[in-house]
A and B are shown apart, each in its own frame.
Chain A
């Protein structure tokens, strides 16, 4: 370490980083959102989303392997040329800014609803940004180390959720295919904000030690684990709450934990909320970092350390667009519309263009 290249991270750290980006605050309302249209098949939707993302992870792998040592920003500039490529970097950077703003929005919504009904909006934002900006200003290596420590808490999150199974009624979600496959597949896309974060693979991949195969394996494992946790989580809430009940509970997981008691700790929901805060801070930090990295790839003189606080400030201001749960939901639906463009469509176009480019050069 003392004489090593300090910019590279290990595969384990890469794994934890993807995991921490994917798992964020959005998970608490995931069962509610999916159940609305998919009913008892909501857990299948979540599983399908995981599989779909897995396919794209392989496509990402194809793209990244063609340009070894370059991250997606550099690839964009490589494929689209200096000007168009830089514009695209800027757009991507703003996408991550939006993602950060959206993460903040959901965090404030849940924090206000469950623990701090009277604390001012700006103060909740301030503490969150203080922590995540501090993290995002660190090097990639330090960030990845923090992600590893944060991941040590994931088993407890999983345990907390699984605890719900003790009060579950397994007939509630049945029949699974009540609404039919088409609806279930359509609903899967509603899970996208919760699963969102796997796209960071595009930006971190070249800074990981190991062969392409090993790196893809790590990314896939992270996605598989996220899918597993989400699916169990959705299934648990489906089994704990009756279908009519879940429709009126926006954050079923927290509500469920309120009912479970230990001899020493009475309110497990508070512990769960703290774990949620932890995961959303890490998610936010990575979004801020990657957004800053985008600006750096436009102009190499920009230091990530210096732009991250500015990006965070803009993201904080953006959250004032929606301060009540209903408008958050409204913007959430709009945001879901643009996520696939950035996470699925543009990378695939890049992949196709890279094939085309290669041929051009050969002829």
Chain B
């Protein structure tokens, strides 16, 4: 085949797109062509590392002179196309059948800044970027262990997205790894956009609870890898998926480990209380007001009933209106630039909140309840769980409106049964509570001092449990 025809064949295969760049040059005294996608490749790099050495080449193989790190020699056109799409440069020589491929991908990565949605007070302010290589290097740099294993998959027939599974070979349970890999390889789709993967590999799609932890924080991923969990990186997505998780993983924040353990334990308990408040409080209010006003002390009952006398709605409607208004304000606030967002906060929070009471539609007590609920749901350190919990309060409110406290009991029981049934990659989701393991409460419910956490959490069933060999032994050492 002539050079011209070969070039056309490649171009044809790439749908004759306008970003195919063709550069003719002389090499070894014959005509040669370089083909690449200029949208992907670093042109300076091509000039410096490929074109200049090639033009000087008089005899021998181009492989020996080109300064690219990665070089391939392929015959098959299909494979050549695949490489071109990943930012490689193709060299065609007039008198040679071989297709030479050189890597020249443009490196585009933003700074590893702290993620907006997972801010902490103390600790490393570093987050992942959209570039998978940069993300992996962030991990590699901080876990300098020969056991850190990365394996790669390409998913999506058209998008060909790179997915990397990372784990510690000496910690992660082999059965877990097998499960993760099996689920990833079973995905056969046209496009795998960031965010799709979670839904493809989770166990119970019907559950409102997230079954994989989504995080953009490097320290969080590292801590989880060191507990024997698996991290899944997706190219183009700054958030990394972590599996398996338990409910309590979502309530741990990395800055817990940067402050005194008493403070952190206190905060953890506050968070767990907020977990209940976020979906129980409006329900309890409805039950108390519409079913069992006699349950509260007399003075409080008078107080609440007094404020309710003018309200034309049933407590359920009242609560639903206010909760939905709050969701409205919240959703509007997210999309707007921060300065306009503040206005929304003032209009929504102050104006609506005040006007709605003065107009006599909603009682003050309801406003207080809604505000506490909202704050309780924002305490959760992860966005996904916060959303799940906020959604739960609507069925719970309905149950309370139908059967009062007994309705809440039934609702909570269904929720607990659901949590007990839920599994994340075959491991129990509600772990230190069910199965009950009081020992694990040390790090799941409270935050004991790090030196006292001699064993890793059993939730991901790591191969090696011991994590603190010896610490704080200086007291026994007389020489000091």
Chain A interface residues toward B at CB < 8 A: 1-3, 10, 12-13, 111, 115-116, 119, 127-128, 130-131, 134-135, 138, 142, 145-146, 148-149, 263-267, 270, 273-274, 277-278, 281
Is the CB–CB distance between B295 and A267 below 8 Å? yes
Asked whether A116 and B294 contact (CB < 8 A) given A2-B461, A127-B410, A131-B410, the answer is no
Query: Which residues of chain B have C-beta atoms less than 8 A from A270's C-beta?
Result: 292, 295, 405
The verdict on B428 contacting chain A, using a C-beta distance below 8 Å, is yes
Query: Which residues of chain A have C-beta atoms less than 8 A from B409's C-beta?
Result: 274, 277-278
Question: In whole Å, how far is B175's beta carbon from the nearest beta carbon of chain A?
Answer: 5
Asked whether A149 and B403 contact (CB < 8 A) given A266-B295, A267-B292, A270-B292, the answer is no
- Ranked 3 nearest A-B pairs via Cβ: A145-B434, A274-B409, A145-B420
Which of A265, A270, A281 has the most chain B CB atoms closer than 10 A to its own CB? A270
Query: Which residues of chain B have C-beta atoms less than 8 A from A134's C-beta?
Result: 414, 417-418
Query: Which residues of chain A have C-beta atoms less than 8 A from B73's C-beta?
Result: none
Asked whether A138 and B414 contact (CB < 8 A) given A1-B461, A2-B175, A264-B297, the answer is no
**Could you tell me the distance between the alpha carbons of A264 and B299 in the complex, rounded to whole angstroms?**
11
Asked whether A274 and B406 contact (CB < 8 A) given A1-B428, A149-B433, A266-B295, the answer is yes
Chain B interface: which size bin? 20 to 34
The verdict on B150 contacting chain A, using a C-beta distance below 8 Å, is no
Q: Which residue of A lies closest to B418 (CB)?
A: A134
**Could you tell me the distance between the alpha carbons of A248 and B442 in the complex, rounded to whole angstroms?**
51
The verdict on B359 contacting chain A, using a C-beta distance below 8 Å, is no
Is the CB–CB distance between B297 and A266 below 8 Å? yes
Query: Which residues of chain A have C-beta atoms less than 8 A from B434's C-beta?
Result: 145-146, 148-149
Which of A1, A116, A138, A273 has the most chain B CB atoms closer than 10 A to its own CB? A1
**Could you tell me the distance between the alpha carbons of A12 and B428 in the complex, rounded to whole angstroms?**
17
The verdict on B413 contacting chain A, using a C-beta distance below 8 Å, is yes
Is the CB–CB distance between A12 and B436 below 8 Å? yes
Within 172-211 of B, Cβ neighbours of A (below 8 Å) are at 173, 175-176
The verdict on B426 contacting chain A, using a C-beta distance below 8 Å, is yes
Is the CB–CB distance between A148 and B435 below 8 Å? yes
Asked whether A266 and B417 contact (CB < 8 A) given A1-B428, A2-B426, A277-B410, the answer is no
Query: Which residues of chain B have C-beta atoms less than 8 A from A131's C-beta?
Result: 410, 413-414, 417
Query: Which residues of chain B have C-beta atoms less than 8 A from A3's C-beta?
Result: 173, 175
Q: Would you give the 0/1 interface string for B375-404, flagging 1 where the beta carbon is closer than 8 Å to chain A?
A: 000000000000000000000000000011
15 CB contacts below 8 A, A to B, read A1-B426, A1-B428, A2-B426, A116-B403, A116-B406, A127-B403, A131-B410, A134-B417, A135-B413, A138-B420, A145-B420, A145-B436, A146-B420, A146-B434, A277-B410
Is the CB–CB distance between A148 and B436 below 8 Å? yes
The verdict on B63 contacting chain A, using a C-beta distance below 8 Å, is no
Query: Which residues of chain A have C-beta atoms less than 8 A from B48's C-beta?
Result: none
Query: Which residues of chain A have C-beta atoms less than 8 A from B295's C-beta?
Result: 265-267, 270
Query: Which residues of chain A have C-beta atoms less than 8 A from B65's C-beta?
Result: none
Partner of A142, one of B173, B296, B421: B421
**Could you tell me the distance between the alpha carbons of A300 and B443 in the complex, rounded to whole angstroms?**
44
Q: Would you give the 0/1 interface string for B277-301, flagging 1 where the beta carbon is closer than 8 Å to chain A?
A: 0000000000000001011111000
The verdict on B127 contacting chain A, using a C-beta distance below 8 Å, is no
Is the CB–CB distance between B433 and A115 below 8 Å? no
**Could you tell me the distance between the alpha carbons of A210 and B176 in the complex, rounded to whole angstroms?**
27
Query: Which residues of chain B have C-beta atoms less than 8 A from A274's C-beta?
Result: 405-406, 409
The verdict on B416 contacting chain A, using a C-beta distance below 8 Å, is yes
Which of B403, B418, B433, B461 has the most chain A CB atoms closer than 10 A to its own CB? B403
The verdict on B353 contacting chain A, using a C-beta distance below 8 Å, is no
Query: Which residues of chain A have C-beta atoms less than 8 A from B238's C-beta?
Result: none
Is the CB–CB distance between B403 and A119 below 8 Å? yes
Partner of B173, one of A2, A12, A127, A128: A2
Within 419-450 of B, Cβ neighbours of A (below 8 Å) are at 420-421, 425-428, 430, 433-436
